[in-house]
Structure 1
Amino acid sequence: MATPPAFSICVYCGSRPGSTPAFAQTAALVGRWIGEHGGQLVYGGGRGGLMGVVADAALDAGARVVGVIPRALVEREHAHRGCTELLIVDTMHERKRLMAEHADAFLALPGGIGTFEEFFEAWTWRQLGYHDKPVGLLNQDGYYDALLDFLRHGVGAGFMDEGQMGMIAANAQWQPLLEHLVVSAGFPAPHRLGAI
């Protein structure tokens, strides 16, 4: 019988690779870290872009990988048939619900409008009390600087508050952010494996 994963991280990220190799390199490190620490990756089920990179790296490192993809996107996002479990659903709402149910924490890597939407929904659900799972934003190479500035503008304009901002963890470094999410989800601090 397979050993259950130590924790489960839902990763939101681009179905495109981004403009520089650094984005894919970091996605691979994130997937590898999850696998090497006995975790499970939950993601959008695609084989392209950063989605495929993080999934392949996690699988190569021994992680259980759960992909969730709507039927309409199976061809468009090139469904990853190598996932440990590939769930094909009818709607985006069902996709996001299942991803959330399978996860202990959420992490947004760089991505496009789909990544933004998933990140904001996970954050909103936490504020509304639908879950109490940690939500992280990887601000790699300043990718989310403008977004974070805008969010702070929202606080200044009186439409948001510091309590809401405190519900997300933003960090430019992927490894401390992953460690923070795992611990915040109530799991023991992962053992550092040295330079990865």
Structure 2
Amino acid sequence: MRLVLLGPPGSGKGTQAVRLKEHLQVPHISTGDLLRAEVAAGSKLGLEASVVMARGELVSDAILLGMLEDRFSRPDTANGFILDGYPRNRAQAQALDTLLAKIGQPADVAVLLEVPSELLVERIAGRAKAEGRADDTPESVRTRLKVYSDQTAPVIDHYRQHDILRAVDGVGSLNEVFARIIESLGAGQAVG
């Protein structure tokens, strides 16, 4: 199963990805974790990324795609993967499609965790308080959610047009949401 996991900040992607990894027996690939690992390892792409990040800039799509291509070439992805945190815009979605077609592993399904914005604000504010993070104010969270919505809506449409999008209600207990995701993976009908 080659799964792309989509959802706004606070929707539970990371938490559910860990559970899906165990259930599906495929690796969870977070682009943020991958980037940090490549920088820590001092790989060629990691060194390129660290120079860019030291300037306070965003790592280019070309560097991220190179890291993803390398990661997808490892034997543990032969039976699939769960991709979390990428793509974040239509250009990235198209580049990812091209990469996955090139390596013969096109995405099987894109799962979108849907959670109302106000609940996301509450979740992130609660997480920020528990972790002692002052930067996740309700206002900053709303701004992040707007950026997510503006950039990611085209990604959602991209996967809908490819008929592999499954929208899942992300509200409820961890077990309830997980059960909905598993059910959506077995569903024969994509969300249109």
Higher strand residue share: 1
TM-score, normalisation: structure 2: 0.39
Query: Larger C-alpha radius of gyration, 1 or 2?
Result: 2
Higher relative contact order (CA 8 A, sep 6+): 2
Higher helix residue share: 2
